[in-house]
Amino acid sequence: MLSVGELGDKLVEAGRLKLRPLCVYGTDETPQNAVPSYKIDRCIARVAYSVALSEEMPAVYIEASHEKCCGGGLVWMGFAEPHPKLKYFVTVGTPDFRGGAAEHLKATAELFDEQKELIGKVTPPGKYIVVAPCTDEIDPQTLRSFILFAGAEQIRNLCGLAQFSSSDPFFKTLIPAGATCSVMITFPSGMAEHAPKDSAFIGPTDPTGNPWFPPDMLVMGIPASLAIQMSADLDESFIGKRNRIAYHEKRTRIGDAKCTLNK
C-alpha cells in the first residue's frame, strides 16, 4: 500500500498539478504541527486553498469550538446545526433574518429543506478535522479524502482517470450543489450520510466563493479509496499510455478552420 505522501505524488503526476495536493483526515487527538483554521481565515474553503497555494502554510484543523470559523462552514463540517431561518438567507430572504438579505442559491426555502434531507446527517470523522499537505507521517488508516486544485484540462484528465476502472458513465464524477467547503471536504470524505461513497466531486458551484476562487480553476475532492484506485490505474490509463494526447503540446486552433459547405 502506498503511503499518503506517495499517493499525493501520484495525483500530482496524474494531474500535472501546480498546487500541492491536500488530504483530509479525522482525529480525536490535538493535531501536532497544525493550527486552527480560523487563525488563517474564517472561511474553511479559503483556508484549504491557501494551504495548497503556499509551501509555507501548515496543516490546519477544525473543531466544534472554533466560533471564529464561518458558521455555515461549521454546519457543513457537522459541528453545528443550521439556524432555523438560514434556509431563507440562502434562498429568497425573510424580513426577520439578517434584514431580509438573500443569496438566491435556490428558488425556494422548501428546496433548501429538501436538499438538506437528501444530503442527510453530516458526521465529522473525529473531534478534529485536519486538512494537511500529503506526507508520509500521516497514518493511511485515518485518511478520508484528497483535495486537488487544478485547471480545466487537468480536472478533465483526472475525471477520466477516476472513470478508468468503472463501467458507470454517469456517477463516478459528480458536480454537486452545496458550499465550496462541502465539495472539498464534506462529500468526498464520507461525512455526508447520503453522499456517494465512491464518486469524485468537482466544483464549486457556490458563487459566493467567486470573489477569491480563481476563475480558471476547479477543485476536485476524491475519496481515499478512489484515489488509491486512480494511482493504481495511472500507468495503464490514457495518461500513462497516451500522455501526449492527455496533455498535448501542440493544439489545433479551431478558430482557424474554414467552412467550405457552399463552395
| DSSP codes, 154-168 | HHHHHHHHHHTT---
Report whether 105 contacts 91 (CB < 8 A): yes
Do residues 57 and 126 both lie within one domain? Answer: yes
Per-residue pLDDT, 67 = 82
Q: Who has greater pLDDT, 140 or 262? A: 140
| The pLDDT of residue 258 is above 90 | no
Name the CA dihedral angle for 258, 260, 262, 263, rounded to a multiple of 10 degrees: 120
Length of the chain: 263
Residue 10 shares a structural domain with residue 52:
yes
Buried b (16+ CB within 10 A) or exposed e, 169-182: eeebbbebbbbbbb
Q: Residue 51: is it exposed, middle or buried by C-beta count within 10 angstroms (0-12/13-18/19+)? A: buried
Task: Assess whether pLDDT exceeds 90 at residue 251.
Answer: no
Separation of CA 249 from chain center: 28
Measured between alpha carbons, how far is 185 from 166 in angstroms, rounded to an integer?
23
Q: Quote the pLDDT of residue 116.
A: 94
Buried b (16+ CB within 10 A) or exposed e, 115-145: beeebeebebbbebbbbbbbeeebebebbbb
Whether the bond between 211 and the residue before it is cis, its omega within 30 degrees of 0, is no
- Residue 261 included in any domain: no
pLDDT tops 60 at residue 188: yes
Q: Which of 61, 96, 121 is a domain's end point? A: 121
Q: What 8-state DSSP symbol labels residue 169? A: S
Q: Which domain holds residue 109?
A: 81-121
The answer to whether residue 109 sits within a structural domain is yes
Residue 167 has pLDDT above 60, yes or no: yes
pLDDT over 70 at 259, yes or no: no
Q: What is the pLDDT of residue 254?
A: 80
Q: 111 and 206 in one domain? A: no
Residues 169 and 194 in one domain: yes
Q: What is the pLDDT of residues 19-40, one digit of tens each?
A: 999 999 999 999 988 999 999 9
194 falls within a domain: yes
Do 110 and 240 reside in the same domain of the chain?
Answer: no
Return the pLDDT at 226.
98
Q: Is residue 142 part of a domain?
A: yes
Domain for residue 259, yes or no? Answer: no
What is the number of structural domains in the chain? Answer: 2
Average pLDDT for 129-155 = 96
pTM: predicted TM-score of the whole model, two decimal places: 0.93
